[in-house]
Each structure stands twice: as structure tokens, then as C-alpha cells.
Chain A
């Protein structure tokens, strides 16, 4: 594993707090629900955060602030400019740095007394059990389905609670999986969705503060588990609707036939989760459909030459406002009923942001009988890269 700090093995549990710690945590200590005993539990707790992104940000900050004695951070990614809209552990000068390194700097500044172990590596079936084994609580702050199943299975196999949170646009979910009497992720979702059916933050968007709220809920649940206080979310799926500002709750039952945590376990080791989720490897997925293409440079030369090309933009109106190629806007979802706006005798070049939606549009139009239609490879992003850098990327 790259850039891993050596965790202290065999360290004896702390039995006291220094005067400085007592002062730092005074607002905890004056509450009977925490007290010295509770703060010592926090000091001796070892929590592993899978992901240091949108959910990982409030998680890291609040668990460090609370005095969790050992925090593990797992993330192989580097800080990207677009992360700053929501990943509040990072600052502008962290862009380009490994996330674990930037998070460690921020969290140790917040609380220099805690131990922070970083795992700048991809969590896989080969390393998960090893990474997890020294921690008491696993907190799932990841952003993809294969890792969610991996984290679940590894937690159940090792008998560790898995504090789960997930988000999409304006909605969030939170619960605690992996307790012996409670359900696991597979009880709720025995099968993952096919890839491409559930959009990611990059294509669906997300209100930056949403993972802040859900991650804070996960931090709260983690602290409650450590303290043994209050009622936790085991067996309860908390649903948060940010736009309506409503919290709802659904019952999560342990599935007696669950292959992972049910009465007759059939999964005894970690599997290939990418295969399970129908995603092959990490290569950038190519277009789902094979259609005739034109590159941005080719398009530019043809336009400069005076060729009569009809530019069809299949993005959404709010994207058109960010930047556009002066195309005729028909959002992809409206294409079937607005196809009469297109003249099949003209040569049409369809584009979107990155080339995927427009590939679907070209495929649809070819099936509808259009013969002179091309997809702009790489979309308006590639146009910005290769032809006109003044066009903003988003």
C-alpha cells in the first residue's frame, strides 16, 4: 500500500485524560451522557473512514474534534478544483494534493492529540480485510456501488459496525449496518443497479451542503455507538429530503435469507465487486453505443470551410446558459417528440457535454431514419480542450 503510516499495534488503552484534554473536551465532560468515562471511550476508539470526500469531510472534522483517538482515512484520489464546492476539509491550495495528505493536515491542526492513519490506496478485495482489522467502527463515505458492497461484506465478515450514508442531489440516506442483530447493506439491496442507471454527482449534481448534513449524521451515529448513548439507526433507514426539509424513517429488517448476514451465509469471502456491479475495470467507459463521430477539430475545419452543418445540442437549458456552440437546443429527453424540428436532408452534428448523451441521440435518430448525422466526440468539453479554450468547462 502506498504512503501508509504504521498503526500502533499493541498500544494499551488510555485510562486517563491530561489536563489539556480535559480542557479541550470540557463541553463533553460536563454532560453526564459523556463524562470522563465517555471521553475515554472516544479516546480509545479506532474509526476508519472510507472516503475523504463530500461525506468524509464533516466526518473527519467532527470525529477529530470529538477526540476519537485513532482515525483511519482511506482515499486514493487527489483534490480536484470541483471538489471545493462541498469537500470542506480542503482549501484552494490543496488542489492536486492527495486527499489523505490534505485531510491529515487539516485534521491534525484541529486536533493534534489524535492518531491519524492514512491509506492512500484503492480499497479492494485484496486489502480490505487487512485495512479494516485494527479498527472498531467502519464509516462508509464512498461514492460508488462496488465499494459499498465491498465495505459491507468486509465489515460483516469482521463483525464491525458499518455507519452508512449516501446522497444524491437533494436526498440522503443514513443507517447503521453490520451490527449482529441488525441488517447489512445486502439485506436492503441484494443487487446493485446496472451501471449508468443511477447518475453520479458529476452528472446528476449535488447541493454541496447535503453531504455535509448526511456526513454529520454519520459522525453523530459513530459517536453514539462509541459512547453507547441514545438510540442508534440500526434497523432504521433515515431518509432526508433537503428541498422539502423533511426527515422520514423506514424500517430496515434483517433479511433471514441474506447471503451475507442471514442464517445461512453463503458468502464467506470478498468477491470481485466490479464484476458484481457489471463494471469492468477502471477504464473510462466508452460510449455505450457505437455511432459515427466527428472530432472537434474536424468540426471546426468544416465550419470554417463554410460547410452547411446543423448543430444539435441535446443538453439541458441550464447547461446551454453556461456555454454553447450556438446549436439548436433539444434536450435528449424531449428528442422523441421534437424530432420534427430536424431536417433529415441536412447534415447534423449532435453534441452534449462529454459526448455520451449525444451518442444516444445519434443512435436514436439513425434508427428513426436519419442518415446524415454525426456525434461530436468528447462533447463541448473536448471542444474547449482542442478548439476554443475560452469555452468554460463544467
Chain B
């Protein structure tokens, strides 16, 4: 199953500046593994040390939040789109 993973702006720096990547995957989890294997630096932004998806990052299969589907075991079909939606707030706390 060829699925497209959309990479949000805040994470593109860790994915070779790409805004999307395609993977062959049967589940959402497989597609995300494909993503973090290809772009190792993304892993710590998406996953905690014990391998859980970070709570401020939401993953959608097409337009549905995977938390309400089968989470990372949600099966994917050809042409599906996986979106990663991190929280953004704009503005302050300049470094």
C-alpha cells in the first residue's frame, strides 16, 4: 500500500526540508517507522524514549485522528494520506 506522509513545517528541518514522503506500508505505524528510519532525527520529535507517540503530536489517517481508529495499528490503503499535526502557538519565547 503506497501511502503519503505529510510533514508539517516545524518538523521539515529534520526531514531534509521535505514536506511529504511516500512509503509502502500496511498500517499507520509502519508508515511512521518508514519515516523515522529514513529521517532518524525525526524520531525524538515524534516519539518518547519508550517508543510512544508524543502527546503534543497528533496523527491523522486522511481526516480521522488515529486515536479514534486503531492508533498505530490502523490499516492503510493505497493512496491514503497520513498527516502529522504538532501543536503550534506562534509568537513568543524567543531564544
* B36 at interface, CB cutoff 8 A: no
The 8 Å CB contact of B95, one of A54, A167, A168, A285, is A285
Most chain A CB atoms below 10 A, which of B8, B56, B68, B93: B93
**A-chain residues with CB within 8 Å of residue B71 when the two chains form the complex:** none
Instruction: Determine whether the beta carbon of B90 is less than 8 Å from that of A167.
Output: yes
Instruction: Determine whether the beta carbon of A193 is less than 8 Å from that of B13.
Output: no
The chain B residue with its CB closest to the CB of A188 is B58
**A-chain residues with CB within 8 Å of residue B92 when the two chains form the complex:** 143-144, 200-202
The chain A residue with its CB closest to the CB of B44 is A197
The 8 Å CB contact of B94, one of A193, A203, A244, A255, is A203
Q: Contacts A190-B55, A199-B10, A204-B10 known; A173 to B88 CB distance under 8 Å? A: yes
**A-chain residues with CB within 8 Å of residue B10 when the two chains form the complex:** 168-169, 198-199, 204
Which residues 67-90 of B sit at the A interface, judged by CB distance below 8 A? 67-68, 83, 85-90
Which residues 1-36 of B sit at the A interface, judged by CB distance below 8 A? 8-10, 13, 19
* B63 at interface, CB cutoff 8 A: yes
Q: Compute how far the CA of A33 lies from the CA of B95 in the bound complex, rounded to whole angstroms.
A: 47
* A31 at interface, CB cutoff 8 A: no
Give the number of residues in B that approach A within 8 Å (Cβ atoms). Answer: 28
Instruction: Determine whether the beta carbon of A166 is less than 8 Å from that of B63.
Output: no
- What are 26 A-B contacts with C-beta separation under 8 Å? A142-B91, A143-B89, A144-B92, A166-B89, A169-B10, A173-B88, A188-B87, A189-B56, A189-B87, A191-B55, A191-B56, A192-B87, A193-B54, A196-B95, A197-B45, A198-B86, A199-B95, A200-B91, A203-B95, A211-B90, A237-B85, A249-B63, A251-B63, A253-B65, A253-B68, A285-B95
Instruction: Determine whether the beta carbon of B91 is less than 8 Å from that of A144.
Output: yes
**B-chain residues with CB within 8 Å of residue A197 when the two chains form the complex:** 45
Q: Contacts A250-B63, A253-B68 known; A148 to B58 CB distance under 8 Å? A: no
Q: Compute how far the CA of A333 lies from the CA of B94 in the bound complex, rounded to whole angstroms.
A: 19
**B-chain residues with CB within 8 Å of residue A281 when the two chains form the complex:** none
Q: Contacts A168-B9, A189-B55, A253-B65 known; A143 to B91 CB distance under 8 Å? A: yes
